[in-house]
Amino acid sequence: MSQYALLIDYKYCTGCHVCEVSCRKEHDIPLEEWGIKLTELGPVKMQDKWLWDYLPVPSDLCDLCEARVAEGKKPACVHHCLASCMELVPVEEVGKVMAERGPKVTAFMPR
């Protein structure tokens, strides 16, 4: 699965936690562990603006939903995110897609 990256466009993230729940259900992850974890940046005042963002961060348990993708499905978190924050992108297209989406985009590739 190293040919793909999970692109997270967190400027649209509402902090709803659905990605955490869908990942946990898909992979039967116990409550004390996380496949992806929502973090919160802020609130902090930066010059005259307030920074307050939600950012989901995949853990080492994330395999980019290899089994689902092999069946032609989207990763569970991508499929269930109501804000369409996430996208599975071929590694060679990551730079291009990030540039198209603008600021507050991050990409994750499992080890």
Query: What is the binding site for ligand SF4 (CB under 6 A)?
Result: 6, 13-19, 22-23, 26-27, 35-36, 38, 54, 56, 58, 62-65, 75-77, 81, 83, 85-86
CB of 47 to ligand SF4, least distance (A): 26
The whole-angstrom separation of Cα 19 and Cα 25 is 10
Which residue's CB is nearer to ligand SF4, number 46 or number 69?
69
Asked whether the beta carbons of 77 and 85 are under 8 A apart, the reply is no
Provide the edge-to-edge strand list for the sheet that holds 105-108: 86-90, 4-9, 105-108
Structure tokens given for 21: 């729940």
Whichever of 39 and 45 has its CB closer to ligand SF4, that residue is 39
